[in-house]
Amino acid sequence: MSEVLISPSILSADFAALGQAVADVDAAGADMIHVDVMDGHYVPNITIGPAVVKALRPHSSKPFDVHLMIAPADPFIDAFVEAGADFLSIHPDAGPHVHRSLQAIRARGAKPGLVLNPGTPAATIEPVIDLLDLVLVMSVNPGFGGQSFIDSQLRKIEALRKMIDQTGRDIVLEVDGGVNPQTAPLCISAGASALVAGSAVFKGAGSLSENIAALRADPIRAAV
């Protein structure tokens, strides 16, 4: 597998200087910029909307990896794509017709992603896998940053890796939640190709570049 992609979550950045935070992690070696969108309805928190994404877009040329924790998601697809989302990921229960929603994301010019919560089985992606460019495994329950990694999700990552490999397509398998230098190698060993990290990047012990580099650890270091 090629080097794992790191997508720092700006949920853990300084919201008073969000544009600078995006520019800083870009310069520090981030591969994507992860944007968590929460509506206070699908998840018990409220973050940002399309206007903020649009304002942040000039601060980085890296892909914007936008995770919609909102329901319904369909009415906001156009706005987030127009604001600059490159990957746009939704939850399968964020609307009545997930297949149609994924089609709409691609039709608008973004790359569709599907998000699996800890209680959502890997098999959920099977009917729509041909429409996906990204699968996001939540290794915490969505809604808040700083939570602890749920170990049972490693088996799900392994199952998804097999399913993706069988398609022969280059679908990003991303993990979000409790990702740090200790859990990152476990995710990579299980088959993840991208990692989302907020606290570990923005609030880690080293510089931003050091914290990002620490997440790219060789999987053989991990104790399985």
Residue 26 annotated as binding site: no
Residue 177 annotated as binding site: yes
Note whether 45 and 37 are within 8 A (CB). no
What is the C-alpha radius of gyration for the chain, rounded to an integer number of angstroms?
16
Residue 9 annotated as binding site: yes
Give the separation between CA 99 and CA 92, rounded to whole angstroms.
9
Residue 144 annotated as binding site: yes
Residues shown for the chain = 224
Burial class of residue 189 in the structure, from the number of CB atoms within 10 Å of its CB (0-12 exposed, 13-18 middle, 19+ buried): middle
Residue 31 annotated as binding site: no
Structure tokens at 189: 């060993």
Residue 143 annotated as binding site: yes
Note whether 7 and 31 are within 8 A (CB). yes
Q: Is 61 helix (H, G, I), strand (E, B) or coil?
A: coil
Q: Is 211 helix (H, G, I), strand (E, B) or coil?
A: helix
Residue 36 annotated as binding site: yes
Measured over the CA atoms of residue 75, residue 81, residue 85 and residue 87, the dihedral's sign is positive
Note whether 209 and 200 are within 8 A (CB). no
Residue 178 annotated as binding site: yes
Residue 49 annotated as binding site: no
Residue 19 annotated as binding site: no
Give the separation between CA 135 and CA 192, rounded to whole angstroms.
10
Could you give the residue numbers annotated as active site? 36, 176
Q: Is 34 helix (H, G, I), strand (E, B) or coil?
A: strand
Give the residue ranges of the annotated binding site for substrate: 9, 67, 143-146, 176-178, 198-199
Numbered residues of the known binding site for a divalent metal cation: 34, 36, 67, 176
Binding annotation? 9, 34, 36, 67, 143-146, 176-178, 198-199
